[in-house]
Structure 1
Amino acid sequence: MSGHVSALMEEEVWEADGPVVITIHPSLVHGFDFSEQAIGFVLTVDPHVVFSAGGSEAHGELFSPLFLRPMAIELARVPELRERMETLLRLLIAESAAPRTGHTLMLEWLARSVMLLLVRLEADHRSAELSGRGDFELFTRFRALVEQHFKQQWQVAVYADKLRITPSRLNRLCLKLAGHSAFDLAQQRLILEACRKLTYVPSGISTIAYELGFQDPAYFSRLFKRHMGVTPKQYRRTHVEQ
């Protein structure tokens, strides 16, 4: 579980540093080249033992994700699980060296316990990936809604309702992926449009304020200065002249 390994998978070579677990279906042509400093275990299990799992088809299916494709599962971030796995593997070695009553059954139980820990780790990783992708898709939908409705100046609760989530979750999502709250992102889009209009549209500042959904042009000016550091009039003068 430490050192370096080069793993041949059919015609592909994987390079990995421990602690790592590599899972391979026995039907796949494979080979390993370990560094001199490498310390670890090679566990070979009869497929019939894996997928029969004591005669239970449901239990056999539990292990199938480990063998659908070769995987390299890193263990550095899960030291507790790594320690438990090492303990089980050492118990396997000890049991193999001194057969006693129930020897075969004990070996099967220990091997399945190792694989079950890997199944849990792989499931957690897959869940995290799906969660991350789901968060990104949700955030993309939020940005699309902001693009459509920023002039209406929706409250965060309205955006959250349209996305069928709570305002607090929406804010956590925005902070996680953009570093700003949902309110701040909507405000930034509003101010960006104000900057564009002040630069390219010859309308008066009050007219622009109304077009952006403000009922009070003075409030628009104060908000703009809070974000940009200058008043709309000063901003227009500087950017139009440029």
Structure 2
Amino acid sequence: MRTEIPIYDINNFREYKTQGIVASRFGHYSKTHAHLHSAHRHSFYHLVFFTQGSGHHHIDFKQFEVKPGSVYFMIPGQVHSWSFDEEPDGYIINFSKDYFNSFLSNAGYLQSFSIFSGIADQQVITVPDDTASELAYCFEEILKEGALKGPFGDDLVRTLLLQIFIKAERSTGHKIEAAASSYNQTIFRNFQKLIAEHYRTLKLPKAYAELLYITPNHLNALCKDIIGLSAGELIREQVILEAKRLLINLDLSIADIADKLNFSDHSYFIKFFKKHEGITPEKFRKSNIKQHGK
């Protein structure tokens, strides 16, 4: 039985107005997309703002409450699923990786927001009532624009989206890095990219520091300054996250997963996983398959 996590592309969804974006009321969307309730990934950015409903949302195997005023931001590749106790509604927008490429001169602009950090705890926020009203207005304007054919419509939608990002980020109290292309920000983004490429073979900060032409102390200091975690913690979190994603696939044995993650043997992988998660890989697999209805 294959239970590998499916990946959905933005082309799997009905276009909103132009290629690269889908916008809808969440109530309608949730009724027409049954995959919401099973663990899956997207190849695009994804955000949801709830105005009603209750339940839970799992992002990268962490559980968050669904409630009015909650906003969820996700980057490509993250694993998530939903479960609802009361009928939900609100707004949902999906947009492709290159949706802003022709609009923003700074290709790394979105990475200056903590809501797009890829760290689930920073991507789920609850906004105050005044911000919720402002966000709802922006979403409504985006939906209205989808029915029009006026000039500069696509650019108007992009500016409304940017307003949503900025208003949501401001509500977190986090400092938005205006100088997203600053030296340390650039190094940090490159470090994240290197982790995504090499986490299977490079597991020590020293190896990444060499690739970035900086000292391990400098790498560790800028990671703590930007995201509050050490370089070693970021590497370990990526390894653990990928282990969890692989554990959902029942076709892979624990030994297979240990081999894919380049552990010397599966017993060391089991010890590593249990040390950081508090349970064995097998127990994690069983609990999450049951939880996601696999």
Q: Please report the TM-score for the alignment, with normalisation by the length of structure 2.
A: 0.37
Query: Normalized per residue, which structure has more strand?
Result: 2
Q: Please report the TM-score for the alignment, with normalisation by the length of structure 1.
A: 0.45
Query: Normalized per residue, which structure has more helix?
Result: 1
